[in-house]
Amino acid sequence: MVIEKTTRGVRIRAEPRYHPERSDPIAKEWFFSYAIEIANESSAPVQLLSRHWIITDATGHVQHVRGAGVVGEQPRLGPGERFRYTSFCPLPTSLGSMHGSYTMRLDSGETFEAEIAPFTLVDPSTEN
């Protein structure tokens, strides 16, 4: 399932995927990846400065992950440009969710939070 949200002309698209070949349910380890596309649909350049992810597992445990950029980069996107990357999220449960935001900066120096809509991480073999 693909999830999208646009904030001030910055569209963030997330597509999660479960990896059974890298998971070990007996050891309570489920491995997920998520592909992200950030598209600048505004008329001004923007730069991604930092990320804030909120990850929740099925037990209700919440983890906040903050850091500079994404996958070691702080991409600057002109109008119409896109940036794509894939990252990973191991969980101790077969179900969880992620959402968060990217801090974006305009050339004027103004910053804003581009929201990442909530998406579900799920092992399809455990869905009812």
What pLDDT score does 128 carry?
57
The answer to whether residue 126 scores a pLDDT higher than 90 is: no
The CB density around residue 77, as the number of other CB atoms within 10 Å, is: 20
The answer to whether residue 38 scores a pLDDT higher than 90 is: yes
What pLDDT score does 15 carry?
98
pLDDT digits 0-9 by tens, 62-116:
999 999 999 999 999 999 999 999 999 999 999 999 999 999 999 999 999 999 9
CATH level 3 topology of 3-121: Immunoglobulin-like (2.60.40)
What pLDDT score does 101 carry?
98
What is the distance between the terminal CA atoms of the chain, rounded to a whole angstrom?
17
pTM value > 0.85: yes
User: Tokens 């950029």 map to which residue?
Assistant: 69
Q: Select from 113, 118, 102 the least CA-distant residue to 51.
A: 102
- Calculate the average pLDDT of the chain: 96
